[in-house]
């Protein structure tokens, strides 16, 4: 470290703030917060023992330091989180998975409420004695850590609690036809659309469901047991049998659950396992005292101390859309737990506690989370090594110049020569990196010239910065040549291959046809490379191609749907440019307009009830399934 930088560190302010460490090229490599900026930054160069390796790393990398002084610890905490999200420094904890948890939504204000799955944890507004409520006034249950856990819950609910599963639009459709759907006929729905169940009885089903989702299964079981006895006394044996099945299902769910704490509160328990710069954080979820699941967060290249990484993780994880529990158990002390507690309490709307237990039942929970982190660490390391070995074999088989850790695949999709789009999907170390997925609307090509479209997409991609280790094109020699020409004209040198689908070569097979193997075309090679048909390498390339195809078609259908809806509006007499603009401004999007009822459409200024009915009919006629499929 040069003298100027050392002097800068020695003269840093002593107020709270955020510091940004930069390498010799000026890139930000780490963002941290501090109660006392001078003390925190100087501590990196005065610690001893095992952390001297980290000091040596800083001596080699650190080129400059920037600080931002703020007024309070809380401001420093929030600013650190924002700067990490903005700059994504290489040595900070980065949460690349932007998916929110899966929740169940129930709007009890409806006459016949239904349970639906949503990915919108940000709808949480406040928590109370009766659960979590969203900004829309509905109740939310969860979050569920996996799709499998929520599927199991929904399977039980749909079979035994007697709530409708149809959407509001489908419910209205059944009422107009005065005929129930198949779900009613097979006994999975009580038929509110044809008034087969009274609203009061349906409300009782909803009440039982709420108790069940709140974790009060014993109370639900007792209520059902009483109703079963009453039905039997009235000789209503079919009703009693249905209640008996529901009771057995709830009792089985009770047997599967494990009460891990006597307090019926929500807790998150964080465990850490670390080896050098690689670590795994494991969050254990306890809801109403019961263990409900867990989630793994693996990280690599993390040289900074564990307590700082845990603090950054807490800030980023709960700063997003994730549910803030009543209590968070941590494996180590944070630098400023009071500031973090205050921020989390403000976000939740009630007091949140951060605890670092040393003994007792809570310490056992932290140890349980740590063991899960250790198991996940070794599983992740093994799977990572297997993926790298597979990529190494792929490199050797195709003669690539570098290990293809990042692969991008491209596909073109069009329908009858219109709405042409290109897609890019990106895999890192054999797994999808959806943050790098992109769509390209074709701008310069008309007609059905796939080669020219692919050329345009690759030229545009070559101008967008860092390139992948390998370009993969869906197609054969022609597509490969077009893509290679685009990269050459853009002044880019990179490995590029194409994957051609299997094709019918003979009709003498037992099933009437014989298919060729899938072939990989490599630039500069005359003959294609045929990888082993069940090898992981071919499976990876096929997975990339299929994902690019899916991604292109999904976007293509979206464009077609928009075009169809706009056309439907244009064809309605009395709906001109001004009214179309007013409709879209009122509802915000075509999707919301399509979901609106005729009464809601009539609320738009300048749209009467008669015109609203015409718009509603036209939009739902445009929404009918289309038998045509876009080709790629």
Q: Do domains 267-378 and 406-553 have the same CATH topology?
A: yes
Pairing between strand 267-275 and 327-329? Answer: parallel
- pLDDT of 383-400, one tens digit each? 888 889 999 999 999 999
Q: What pLDDT does residue 469 have?
A: 95
Report the 10 Å Cβ neighbour count for 353: 15
To the question of domain 3-87 being in CATH 3.40.1440.10, the answer is yes
- pLDDT of 330-342, one tens digit each? 999 988 888 899 9
Q: What does the alpha-carbon distance between residue 632 and residue 552 come to, in Å, rounded to a whole number? A: 8
pTM attached to this predicted model = 0.54
Domain boundaries of the chain, sorted by first residue? 3-87, 102-256, 267-378, 406-553
Q: What pLDDT does residue 308 have?
A: 87
Q: Are 424 and 417 within 8 A, CB to CB?
A: no
Q: What does the alpha-carbon distance between residue 178 and residue 69 come to, in Å, rounded to a whole number? A: 68
- pLDDT of 118-166, one tens digit each? 765 444 443 433 346 666 678 877 666 566 666 667 777 777 777 888 8
Q: When comparing pLDDT for 441 and 175, which is higher?
A: 441
- pLDDT of 5-25, one tens digit each? 888 888 899 989 999 998 888
- Kindly tell me the sign of the dihedral angle through the C-alpha atoms of 337, 342, 346, 348: positive
Return the minimum-mean-pLDDT range out of 57-66, 148-157, 481-490: 148-157
Which of 419, 395, 402, 414 minimizes the C-alpha distance to 541? 395
Quote the CATH superfamily of domain 267-378.
Ribonuclease H-like superfamily/Ribonuclease H (3.30.420.10)
Q: Are 180 and 170 within 8 A, CB to CB?
A: no
| pLDDT confidence bin for 600, thresholds 50/70/90 | confident
Average pLDDT, the chain: 80
Backbone angles phi, psi at 403, to 5 degrees: -65, 125
Question: What's the CATH fold of domain 406-553?
Answer: Nucleotidyltransferase; domain 5 (3.30.420)
Name the DSSP letter for residue 631. Answer: B
Q: What pLDDT does residue 303 have?
A: 77
Q: What pLDDT does residue 131 have?
A: 47
Cis peptide before 143 (omega within 30 of 0): yes
Backbone angles phi, psi at 248, to 5 degrees: -65, -40
pLDDT above 90: residue 381 = no
| pLDDT confidence bin for 623, thresholds 50/70/90 | very low
Question: What does the buried/exposed string (b/e) look like for 30-52 if buried means 16 or more CB atoms within 10 Å of the residue's CB?
Answer: bbbbbbebbebbeebeeeeeeee
Q: Are 529 and 520 within 8 A, CB to CB?
A: yes
Q: What does the alpha-carbon distance between residue 189 and residue 196 come to, in Å, rounded to a whole number? A: 10
């Amino acid at each position: 470290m040069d003298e100027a930088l050392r002097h800068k560190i020695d003269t840093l302010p002593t107020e709270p703030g955020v510091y940004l460490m930069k390498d010799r090229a000026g890139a930000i490599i780490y963002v941290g917060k501090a109660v006392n900026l001078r003390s925190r930054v100087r501590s990196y160069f005065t610690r001893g023992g095992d952390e001297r390796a980290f000091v040596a790393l800083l001596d080699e990398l650190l080129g400059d330091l920037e600080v931002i002084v703020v007024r309070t610890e809380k401001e420093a905490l929030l600013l650190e989180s924002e700067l990490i999200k903005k700059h994504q420094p290489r040595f900070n904890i980065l949460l690349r998975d932007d998916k929110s948890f899966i929740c169940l939504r129930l709007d009890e204000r409806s006459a016949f409420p239904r349970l639906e799955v949503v990915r919108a944890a940000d709808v949480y507004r406040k928590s109370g004695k009766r659960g979590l409520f969203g900004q829309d006034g509905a109740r939310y249950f969860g979050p569920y850590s996996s799709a499998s856990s929520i599927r199991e819950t929904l399977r039980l609910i749909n079979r035994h609690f007697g709530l409708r599963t149809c959407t509001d639009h489908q419910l209205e459709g059944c009422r107009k036809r005065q005929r129930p759907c198949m779900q009613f006929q097979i006994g999975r729905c009580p038929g509110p659309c044809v008034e087969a169940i009274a609203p009061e009885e349906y409300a009782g089903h909803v009440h039982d469901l709420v108790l069940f989702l709140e974790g009060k299964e014993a109370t639900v079981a007792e209520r059902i047991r009483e109703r079963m006895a009453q039905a039997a006394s009235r000789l209503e044996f079919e009703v009693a049998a249905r209640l008996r099945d529901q009771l057995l299902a709830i009792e089985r769910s009770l047997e599967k659950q494990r009460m891990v704490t006597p307090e019926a509160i929500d807790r998150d328990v964080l465990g850490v396992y670390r080896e050098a710069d690689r670590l795994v954080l494991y969050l254990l979820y306890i809801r109403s005292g019961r263990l409900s699941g867990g989630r793994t967060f693996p990280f690599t290249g993390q040289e900074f101390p564990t307590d700082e990484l845990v603090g950054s993780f807490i800030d980023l994880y709960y700063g997003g859309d994730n549910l803030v529990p009543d209590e968070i158990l941590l494996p180590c002390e944070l630098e400023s737990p009071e500031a973090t507690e205050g921020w989390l309490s403000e976000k939740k709307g009630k007091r949140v506690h951060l605890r670092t237990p040393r003994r007792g039942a809570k310490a056992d929970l932290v140890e349980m989370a740590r063991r899960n982190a250790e198991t996940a660490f070794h599983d992740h390391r093994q799977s990572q090594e297997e993926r790298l070995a597979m990529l190494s074999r792929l490199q050797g088989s195709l003669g690539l110049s570098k290990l293809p850790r990042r692969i991008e695949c491209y596909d073109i999709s069009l329908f009858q020569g219109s709405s042409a789009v290109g897609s890019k999907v990106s895999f890192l170390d054999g797994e999808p990196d959806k943050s790098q997925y992109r769509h390209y609307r074709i701008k310069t090509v008309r007609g059905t010239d796939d080669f020219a479209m692919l050329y345009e997409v690759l030229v545009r991609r070559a101008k967008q910065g860092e390139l992948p280790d390998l370009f993969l094109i869906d197609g054969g020699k022609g597509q490969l040549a077009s893509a290679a020409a685009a990269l050459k004209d853009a002044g880019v040198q990179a490995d590029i291959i194409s994957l051609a689908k299997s094709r019918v070569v003979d009709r003498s097979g037992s099933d009437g046809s014989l298919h060729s193997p899938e072939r990989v075309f490599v630039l500069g090679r005359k003959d294609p490379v045929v990888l082993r048909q069940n090898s992981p390498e071919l499976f990876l390339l096929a997975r990339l191609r299929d994902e690019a195809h899916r991604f292109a078609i999904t976007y293509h259908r979206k464009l077609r749907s928009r075009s169809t809806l706009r056309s439907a509006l244009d064809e309605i007499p009395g709906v001109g440019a001004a009214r179309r603009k007013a409709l879209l401004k009122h509802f915000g999007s075509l999707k919301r307009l399509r979901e609106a009822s005729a009464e809601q459409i009539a609320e738009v200024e300048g749209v009467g009830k008669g015109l609203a009915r015409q718009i509603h009919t036209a939009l739902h006629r445009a929404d009918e399934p289309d038998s045509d499929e876009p080709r790629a």
